[in-house]
Amino acid sequence: MNPSLENIKDLSVTVDNADGGSLTVEQAIANLESADLGLRFYAAWWLGRFRINEPAAVTAVIKALEDEADRTPEGGYPLRRNAARALGKLGDRQAVSPLIGCLDCSDFYVREAAAQSLEMLGDPVCIPALIKLLAVGLQGEQLISKQPDLSQPYDAILEALGTLRATEFSPLVKAFLEHPIELVQYSATRAMYQLTQEPVYGERLVQALAGEKLQLRRAVLADLGAIGYLPAADAIAQTLAENSLKLISLKGLLEHQVNHITPNTFSEGAIKVMNLMDSLL
C-alpha cells in the first residue's frame, strides 16, 4: 500500500501562541532589535500575522529591511525576508519605496517577498522596478533561454504585474507563457487574464486543473481564485485537491462577483458559487 506521494501541508492549524510566543505589540516592536536573532525573526512574522499596522510597528519593520545581523550560511537575510512579507500584510504605503529597494537585494527570497508584498500594497509606482527584474529573463520580447531560469522570482513578479494592471507591459508578460517551469507559465497566464480579460487565459488555467500533479493543481486553484474567473467554478469544485483549497478559490470567485459585478444583489454566478461552497464544507 502506497498511500500518497504528496504530503498535505496543514492549511488548517490555527496559530496559537503556545510556546512562549504570546507577545504584546510593544514587546514585538522591541524584539525587532533584540540581541536574540530568533526573537527578531519571530517578532517580524508576528506583527505581520496579526496585522499590527500601527505607525510604530510599520516604522520598525521597515527598519528591519536593512538588517545585517541575521544571515544564513549562504548569505541570505532571514529577518529581511520576514519583514518584507509582513509589510504586505500591514497595508501601509510607506513601505512601498523601501520594498522597491529590496528588489535589488542579493537574496532571492527577499526579492520574492518584496514582489509579493508590493502586489498586496497595490501601488503601481513599483511597476518599472518589477519590469527591470522581469527583463533579466528577456531579450526584447523573447525569453533568453529555453532552460529553466531560476535567477529571479518570476512567478511573484508576474502576479504582481497582473494585479497592478501593468497593461502596457503585456508583451513582456506574454513571453513567460512559454517559460519551461509550469508554475511560472501559470503565473503569466493569470497575469495575462488580468491584463486583457481574455477568456482564453482563464480557460488555460481551467485545463491545468486537470493536470497530473497535485502541487500544480493547488497553485492553479489559487490563481483562479485570485482572478475571480467565474466559468471555472465547476472545474474548481471537481478537481482532485483538498476542499480547503477549493473553498479559498471559490471564495475568490464569490468576492469578485460581489465586488465587481453586482454590489447589491446576488448574481446567478454568486448563488452558484455559494451552493458549490456549501457542498464542499
Partner 1 sequence: MNNSDLAQILIRAVEEADSSDRLLDAVQELAAAGIEEGVPTLIAALGYNNPGAAVAAVDGLIAIGEPAVQPLLQLIDGYNYGARAWAIRALAGIGDVRALDTLLEAAKSDFSLSVRRAAARGLGTLRWQQVLPEKLESLHTQVLEALLLISQDPEWVVRYAAVTSLETLAIAIAVTLPDQASRITNQLQQMLNTDVDLGVRTRVKFAQEKIQPQHPQQHQEVFAPKIKLQDTEIAHRGDSRR
Interface residues with partner 1 (CB under 8 A)? 1-8, 10-14, 16, 214, 240-244, 247-248, 251, 254-255, 258-259, 265-266, 270-271, 274, 277-278, 281
What's the DSSP call for residue 138? E
Q: Name the nearest CA neighbour of 119 among 187, 171, 60.
A: 187
Smallest separation (angstroms) from partner 1 to the CB of 81: 25
Q: Let me know: does 166 contact 124? Beta carbons within 8 Å.
A: yes
| CA dihedral sign of residues 31, 32, 34, 37 | positive
> CB-wise, 204 or 246, nearer to partner 1?
246
Q: How far is CA 14 from the centre of its chain?
A: 20
With cell 504570546, the residue in question is: 22
Is the four-CA dihedral 198, 206, 238, 221 of positive or negative sign?
A: negative
Burial degree of 88 (CB within 10 A; 0-12, 13-18, 19+): buried
Nearest CB to partner 1, comparing residues 50 and 108: 50
CA distance 193 to 177: 12
Residue closer to partner 1, measured from CB, 51 or 132: 51
Residues 225 and 250 sit within 8 Å (Cβ to Cβ): yes
Nearer to partner 1, 60 or 90 (CB): 90
- Do residues 43 and 17 touch, judged by C-beta distance below 8 A? no
Choose between 78 and 269: whose C-beta lies nearer to partner 1. Answer: 269
Could you tell me the three cell numbers for 242?
A: 483538498
For residue 138, list its beta bridge partners.
143
Cβ distance to partner 1 smaller for residue 16 or 74: 16
Query: Cell 530568533 identifies what position?
Result: 38
Tally Cβ neighbours within 10 Å of residue 270: 19
Minimum CB–partner distance for residue 4 and partner 1 (Å): 4
Minimum Å gap between C-beta 6 and partner 1 is 7
**Nearest approach, Cβ of 109 to partner 1 (angstroms)?**
27
Nearer to partner 1, 3 or 75 (CB): 3
